[in-house]
């Protein structure tokens, strides 16, 4: 088990190198001179020279990458072009705001997805199942930006029940009630698609598991229907369910950019969008890096969880008998 | 006969598929006496497993028991609620499946899976149930049962897993044991051991047993009665000695001709039945075997064959046999 | 020996290249008709296909069937459906919604279809190569793809498009890049599993060369799942692409696709909700139609699913 975790941790090392290299190369992909890309069009020649020096822009690409990486590893993402602040200062608080929205959305998606998926699979082709299939199809292909706007239209503009935008400060603003009110619509908008995807996966996985021989054996043993569903089937369906749940949380942690944009939620996705509009490359780099790291770590956690629940990996002594 | 533990009367189990109605079991009747062994024989797809699962009421949509009666002692199994049926399964009727490799839940220990059955059907719990599980594991020949209770299925070989599944099936000393090709997936050397074990526990518990197989050697070694199935229908049914000595249905005759006998003279050749059995999706009227039958005549393609109580003591479902019987 | 062409039995040597080709065509034709019969049984899939054909025709014929110039104000700003003689009303600048939807379909369909097709083509080559050659080549390709899997797909596309200059070409490029890893992984997995089939070994023992094996055995067996997967992706990519347009990374004003129309509608959301609702609704149903076609294809191309 420990061996598995160590091995799995080792696999993310090359991935993280690759990710950082990709983010590094972004600055070179942008059209125009790299110094302009990194310092903005109004930078003085002095600033340009400074960045050339600090990142070794006159040296070969590998050296540049090395220098850049050592900056990043010290938490130095460079300076934002748009508002002259350090990128790190800018993005970490934003990431925390995204995490709040991600967690509420994920919670909603998990509850709806799991329950709908399991109930649908327990009576395949019944009414609830058909209803679930239709729902997952609908919400699986609904564009989040459009769904968000419809929510705003109905709940904020027409009925005036909930605020659409205006969330600027999470801490020290209007208090917890205010935060919760501001969270409701974005949470629904962001959680709808993951809920549909999770429900679909849970349903498919449960149906697959329920067709296994050991389920037939459990029925032949006279185990109650509900117990088979909850104990035998769900326990075996756990790895794919955990994987899809982790994946969706990863997506949400990346800031559901569209939802953040529509509701002006001060998260990492909104920040990324603003950076893109301002062609603020250092901020784009910082934001994408932090999102990728979060995504990789969530997937790592899922793999470790799945390894822990699999007796074949947990007990790695192999086949013992004849 | 009044001491029948199980009566199956004109059982029909159909599956509604997009391609049509698959009549997996179509008109099957037999009786099982206490303590006796009935073998159901047939090729793959002849409806043997569906028969077993129909008795256990394990058929899932799109499959459905559309007609017939299944009477266990005095209970009409088809009239029971799912709850009542659950109380019966694994308790009064135990079942052993074909593939031991996939029949145990991979994430629970062997002990948990045996204990679960015991707890579900008896008043035993905790330590008592575990003690009973150990006793069962010893009974089915698993060495060092105490130590193996907390092992997972993947730590067991195929033969050992089948022993565990037998232990689960007999945990509550059932009146009927249904074994659906219990040795098909096992090594040849293990097959004999498992069959002997089944025979031993069946005798020890005094249960009746339905043994499903496609191996006529197994039939001759284990069966009291034999029922031959073909394409979802019954072909011949009766005492094993009678049928082996005097098979009446052309299909049964063909089956028995296709096995090697030790006393065969060198000149006699091994015969086989040519062709393949039809898949009974929306089958046309008439005998399903007619296209492969050496004795087929016009009537076989027009009418379903009649049940004939033969003079030799078996029941055959065949126009040709009916004609033979009618002849002076 | 008889002269009658037959699939089995006689020696392959006796048949000319032309005969072989004809036979291949015949097999392909039979496979296609079989698949079509299976597909035709799925009413939802057939309906979705007909709907998509109509949508594509409308997009192609937009210049001739649009009642108005899509970039010209012909009605009141945010006019509701029916006003000024505009069936679907006007947008925030009083331009005809219906004409804009017709024209917008051209770009929106394009950014759904082109990246998916391009990414599939690249992925088939990449995945086939990695999966068939195996060894360190496979390892390198897969590790590089892993790097892309570290980014959520939509985010990857947004970042690439955001770095480059906005426009339709950028949009197509960024979605293609983001999509390649996903399809490549499927191609590779299928290739590896097909490669291990006994019939490949048999073909190799029979003297078939690598290109022959790839073209005659591996590719056909791998193509069905890939085509099914790609078809389902088209709808999704249309949603993603429209999203990028919504963010202003795609087509630039005054031209529009369905995504930018949703975005434009925000300005008059309260006064003229139809300007947001209609284009979004169109995205949803067209995307759904692609899913239905994908599901129908899955049932049609998977011979194991055909019996049921």
To the nearest whole Å, the CA of B284 is away from the closest chain A CA by: 30
| CA C198 – CA C204 distance, rounded (Å) | 10
A218 CB within 8 Å of a chain B CB: yes
Q: What is the pLDDT of residue A57?
A: 73
Report pLDDT digits (tens) over A176-196: 777 778 888 899 999 999 999
pLDDT of residue A169: 58
The rounded distance, in Å, linking the Cα atoms of C91 and C279 is 11
CB contact under 8 A, B105 and A218: yes
Q: Show the tokens assigned to A91.
A: 């993005």
The pLDDT value recorded for residue A174 is 61
**Which segments in chain C show pLDDT lower than 70?**
1-16, 302-308
Mean pLDDT, chain B, whole residue set:
88
Contact of A114 with A205, CB cutoff 8 Å: no
Q: How far is the alpha carbon of B15 from chain C, nearest alpha carbon, in Å?
A: 10
Q: Do A15 and C247 touch (CB under 8 A)?
A: no
The model's pLDDT over A209-257, given as tens digits with 9 standing for 90+, comes to 998 999 999 999 999 988 999 899 999 999 899 989 998 998 888 768 8
Q: How confident is the model at residue B280 (pLDDT cuts 50, 70, 90)?
A: confident
Q: What is the pTM of this model?
A: 0.83
Q: Which residues pair with B213 in a beta bridge?
A: B41
Q: Cβ contacts (< 8 Å) between B87 and chain A: which residues?
A: 222
pLDDT at C3: 42
Dist CA B222 CA B195 (whole Å):
8
Which H or E run includes A221?
Answer: none
Mean pLDDT of B180-199: 88
What gap in Å lies between CA B7 and CA B11, rounded to an integer? 10
Arithmetic mean of pLDDT, B41-49: 88
Chain C residues whose CB is inside 8 A of the B18 CB are: 41, 307-308
**How many contacts, defined by CB atoms under 8 Å, are there between B and C?**
7
Contact in structure between B320 and B252 (CB atoms under 8 Å): no
Instruction: Provide the token pair at C115.
Output: 């990246």
Q: In this predicted structure, what is the pLDDT of residue A320? A: 37
Closest chain A residue by Cα to residue B88: A222
Summarize pLDDT for B64-88 with one digit per residue, the tens.
999 999 999 888 999 999 999 999 9
DSSP assignment, residue B299? G
Which chains does A contact via 3+ CB–CB distances below 8 A? B, C
Report chain C residues whose CB lies below 8 A from the CB of B19: 307-308
Q: Give the tens place of pLDDT for each residue, B10-24.
A: 999 999 887 788 899
Give C136-184 pLDDT, tens digit per residue.
Answer: 999 899 889 989 988 888 889 999 998 888 889 999 999 999 999 999 9
- C-beta neighbour count of B84 within 10 angstroms: 12
Chains adjacent to B (≥3 CB pairs closer than 8 angstroms): A, C
B303 Rama class: left (phi>0) / alpha (psi -120 to 50) / beta: beta
The DSSP result for chain C, as a single string, is ---S--SSSS-GGGS-HHHHHHHHHHHHHHHHHHHHHHHHT-HHHHHHHHHHHHHHHHHHTHHHH-SS-TTSB-S-TTPPTTGGG-TT-B-TTSBBHHHHHHHHHHHHHHHHHHHHHHHHHHHHHHHHHHHHH-HHHHHHHHHHHHHHHTS-HHHHHHHHHHHS--SHHHHHHHHHHHHHHHHHHHHHHHHHHHHTSHHHHHHHHTT--HHHHIIIIIHHHHHHHHHHHHHHHHHHHHHHHHHHHHTTSSSPTTS--HHHHHHHHGGGTTT-THHHHHHHHHHHHHHHHHHHHHHHHHHHH-HHHH--
pLDDT band for A62, please (50, 70, 90 cuts).
confident
For residue range B200-230, list pLDDT tens digits in order.
999 999 999 999 998 888 898 899 999 999 9
> Pick from A298, A250, A288: which is nearest to A21 by CA?
A288
Residues of C with CB under 8 A from a CB of B: 41, 307-308
Q: Do B97 and B180 meet the contact criterion of CB atoms below 8 Å apart?
A: yes
Give the pLDDT confidence of A275-288 residue by residue, as tens digits. 888 888 888 888 99
What is the pLDDT confidence band of residue A304, given thresholds at 50, 70 and 90?
A: confident
- Looking at the complex, does the CB of residue A220 fall below 8 Å from at least one CB of chain B? yes
CB neighbour list of residue C217: distance below 8 Å, 6 or more residues apart? C194, C197, C199, C200, C203
Flag if B19 and C307 touch (Cβ within 8 Å): yes
Please state, in angstroms and rounded to a whole number, the distance separating the CA atoms of residues C78 and C95: 9
Least confident of A38-52, B219-233, B242-256, C196-210: A38-52
Query: In this predicted model, which residue has the larger pLDDT, B1 or C170?
Result: C170
Check: complex ipTM more than 0.85: yes
CB pair distance less than 8 Å for B102 and A225: no
Q: Is B20 on the interface with C (CB under 8 A)?
A: no
Number of H helices, E strands in chain B: 12, 12
Among the partner residues B95, B116, B165, nearest to A223 by beta-carbon distance: B116
Give the gap in angstroms from C-alpha B242 to the nearest C-alpha of chain C: 40
Cα of A221 to nearest chain B Cα, Å: 4
Q: Is residue B246 within a helix (H) or strand (E), and if so which, with residue range?
A: none
Q: Which residues share a beta bridge with B89?
A: B93
β-bridge mates for residue B308, sequence order: B316
**CA C39 – CA C37 distance, rounded (Å):** 5
pLDDT > 90 fraction of chain A, expressed in percent and rounded: 22
Contact B14, B63 (CB under 8 A): yes
Region B265-272: mean pLDDT is 62
Residue of B nearest to C307 (CA): B19
List of chain B residues whose C-beta atoms are within 8 Å of the C-beta of residue A214: 102-106
Chain B residues touching C41 at Cβ < 8 A: 18
The 10s digit of each residue's pLDDT in B293-312 is: 888 888 888 888 988 888 88
CB atoms within 10 A of CB C223: 16
C200 to chain B, closest Cα gap in Å: 27
The alpha carbon of residue A285 is apart from the nearest alpha carbon of chain C, in Å, by 9
Residue C117: the pLDDT is 95
Q: How far apart are CA A146 and CA A153, in angstroms?
A: 10
Mutate to test the interface with C, among A10, A25, A149 (most CBs of C within 10 A): A149
pLDDT value of residue A180: 79
Do C143 and A141 make contact, defined as CB atoms within 8 angstroms?
Answer: no
Using a 10 angstrom Cβ sphere, with 0-12 exposed, 13-18 middle and 19 or more buried, the burial of residue C29 is exposed
The string of pLDDT tens digits covering residues A99-153 is 999 999 999 999 999 999 999 998 888 889 889 988 998 888 888 889 988 888 8
The backbone region for C82, taken as left when phi is positive above 0, alpha when psi lies in -120 to 50, beta otherwise, is: left
At A79, list the tokens. Answer: 């300076």
CB-based contact, B18 to chain C, within 8 Å: yes
Measured CA to CA, the distance from residue B237 to residue B315 in angstroms comes to 5
Where in A154-277 does DSSP place strands (E)? none
Decide: B175 and B102 in contact? Cβ < 8 Å: no
Under an 8 A CB cutoff, do B19 and C308 touch? yes
Q: At what angle do helices B158-169 and B110-121 cross, to 10 degrees?
A: 10
Q: Is A219–B58 a contact, with Cβ atoms under 8 angstroms apart?
A: yes
Q: Give the distance from residue C306's alpha carbon to the nearest chain B alpha carbon, in angstroms.
A: 9
Question: Are B239 and B281 contacting, i.e. CB atoms less than 8 angstroms apart?
Answer: no
pLDDT at A170: 57
Q: Which of residues 176-215 of A touch B (CB under 8 A)?
A: 212-214
φ, ψ (nearest 5 deg) of residue C136: -70, -30
Q: B19 and C41: CB-CB below 8 Å?
A: no
CB contact under 8 A, B152 and A312: yes
Q: What residue of C is the nearest CA neighbor of A22?
A: C147
- A316 at B interface, C-beta within 8 A: no
**Number of Cβ pairs closer than 8 Å across A and B?**
95
d(CA C189, CA C195): 10
Q: Is B60 on the interface with C (CB under 8 A)?
A: no
B19–C contact, CB cutoff 8 A: yes
């Amino acid at each position: 088990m420990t061996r598995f975790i160590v091995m799995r941790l080792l696999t993310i090392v090359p991935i993280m190198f690759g990710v950082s290299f990709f983010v590094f190369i972004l600055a070179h992909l942008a059209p125009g001179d790299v110094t302009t890309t990194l310092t903005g069009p109004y930078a003085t020649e002095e600033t340009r020279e400074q960045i050339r020096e600090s990142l070794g822009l006159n040296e070969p690409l590998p050296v540049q990458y090395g220098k850049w990486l050592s900056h990043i590893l010290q938490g130095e993402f460079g300076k934002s072009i748009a508002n002259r602040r350090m990128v790190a200062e800018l993005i970490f608080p934003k990431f925390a705001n995204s995490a709040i929205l991600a967690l509420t959305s994920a919670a909603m998606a998990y509850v709806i997805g799991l329950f709908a998926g399991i109930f649908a699979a327990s009576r395949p082709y019944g009414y609830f199942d058909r209803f679930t299939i239709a729902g997952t199809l609908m919400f699986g292909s609904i564009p989040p930006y459009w769904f968000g706007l419809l929510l705003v239209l109905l709940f904020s503009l027409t009925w005036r029940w909930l605020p659409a935008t205006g969330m600027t400060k999470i801490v020290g603003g209007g208090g917890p009630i205010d935060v919760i009110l501001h969270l409701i619509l974005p949470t629904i908008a962001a959680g709808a698609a993951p809920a549909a995807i999770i429900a679909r996966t849970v349903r498919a996985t449960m149906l697959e598991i329920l067709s296994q021989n050991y389920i037939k054996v459990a029925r032949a043993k006279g185990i109650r229907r509900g117990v088979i569903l909850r104990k035998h089937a769900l326990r075996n369906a756990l790895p794919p369910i955990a994987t899809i749940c982790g994946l969706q949380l990863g997506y949400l942690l990346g800031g559901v950019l569209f939802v953040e944009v529509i509701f002006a939620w001060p998260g990492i996705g909104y920040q990324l969008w603003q950076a893109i509009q301002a062609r603020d490359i250092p901020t784009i780099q910082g934001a994408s890096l932090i999102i990728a790291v979060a995504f990789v770590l969530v997937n790592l956690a899922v793999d470790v969880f799945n390894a822990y629940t699999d007796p074949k990996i947990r007990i790695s002594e192999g086949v013992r008998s004849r | 006969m009044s001491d029948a533990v199980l009566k199956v009367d004109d059982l029909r189990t159909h599956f509604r598929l997009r391609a049509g109605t698959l009549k997996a079991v179509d008109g099957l009747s037999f009786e099982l006496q206490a303590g006796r062994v009935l073998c159901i024989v047939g090729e793959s797809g002849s409806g043997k497993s569906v028969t077993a699962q129909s008795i256990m009421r394990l058929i899932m949509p799109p499959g459905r028991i559309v007609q017939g009666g299944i009477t266990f002692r005095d209970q009409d199994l088809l009239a029971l609620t799912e709850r009542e049926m659950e109380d019966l399964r694994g308790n009064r009727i135990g079942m052993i499946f074909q593939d031991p490799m996939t029949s145990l839940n991979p994430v629970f220990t062997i002990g948990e899976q045996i204990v679960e059955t015991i707890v579900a059907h008896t008043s035993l719990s905790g330590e008592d149930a575990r003690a009973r599980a150990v006793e069962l594991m010893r009974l089915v020949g698993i060495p060092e049962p105490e130590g193996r209770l907390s092992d997972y299925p993947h730590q067991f070989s195929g033969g050992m897993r089948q022993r565990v599944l037998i232990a689960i099936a007999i945990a509550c000393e059932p009146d009927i044991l249904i074994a659906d090709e219990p040795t098909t997936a096992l090594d040849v050397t293990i097959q004999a051991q498992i069959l002997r074990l089944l025979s031993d526990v069946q005798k020890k518990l005094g249960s009746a047993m339905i043994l499903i197989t496609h191996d006529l050697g197994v039939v001759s070694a284990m069966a009291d009665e034999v029922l031959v199935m073909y394409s979802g229908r019954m072909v011949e049914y009766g005492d094993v000695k009678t049928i082996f000595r005097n098979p009446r249905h052309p299909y049964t005759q063909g089956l028995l001709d296709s096995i090697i006998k030790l006393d065969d003279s060198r000149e006699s050749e091994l015969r086989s039945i040519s062709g393949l059995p039809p898949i009974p999706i929306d089958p046309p009227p008439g005998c399903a075997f007619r296209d492969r039958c050496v004795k087929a005549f016009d009537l076989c393609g027009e009418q379903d064959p009649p049940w004939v109580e033969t003079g030799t003591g078996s029941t055959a479902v065949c126009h040709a046999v009916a004609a033979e019987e009618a002849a002076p | 020996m008889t002269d009658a062409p037959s699939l089995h039995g006689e020696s392959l040597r006796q048949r000319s290249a032309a005969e072989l080709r004809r036979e291949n065509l015949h097999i392909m034709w039979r496979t296609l008709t079989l698949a079509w019969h299976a597909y035709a049984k799925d009413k939802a899939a057939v309906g979705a296909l007909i709907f998509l054909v109509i949508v594509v025709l409308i997009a192609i014929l937009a210049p001739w069937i649009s009642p108005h110039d899509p970039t010209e104000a012909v009605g009141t700003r945010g006019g509701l459906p029916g006003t000024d003689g505009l069936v679907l009303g006007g947008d925030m600048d009083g331009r005809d919604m219906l004409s804009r939807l017709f024209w917008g379909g051209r770009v929106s369909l394009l950014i759904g279809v082109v990246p998916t097709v391009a990414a599939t083509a690249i992925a088939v080559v990449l995945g086939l190569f990695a999966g068939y050659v195996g060894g360190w080549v496979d390892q390198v390709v897969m590790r590089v793809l892993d790097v892309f899997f570290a980014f959520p797909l939509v985010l990857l596309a947004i970042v690439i498009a955001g770095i480059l200059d906005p426009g339709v070409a950028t949009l197509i490029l960024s979605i293609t890049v983001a999509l390649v890893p996903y399809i490549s992984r499927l191609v590779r997995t299928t290739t590896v599993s097909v490669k291990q089939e006994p019939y490949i070994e048999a073909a190799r023992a029979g003297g078939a060369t690598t290109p022959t094996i790839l073209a005659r055995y591996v590719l056909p067996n791998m193509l069905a799942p890939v085509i099914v997967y790609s078809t389902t992706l088209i709808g999704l990519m249309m949603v993603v692409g429209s999203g990028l347009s919504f963010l202003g990374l795609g087509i630039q004003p005054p031209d529009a696709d369905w995504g930018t129309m949703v975005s434009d509608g925000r300005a008059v959301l309260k006064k003229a909700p139809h300007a947001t609702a209609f284009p979004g609704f169109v995205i949803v149903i067209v995307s759904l139609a692609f899913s239905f076609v994908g599901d129908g294809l899955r049932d049609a191309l998977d011979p194991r699913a055909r019996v049921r």
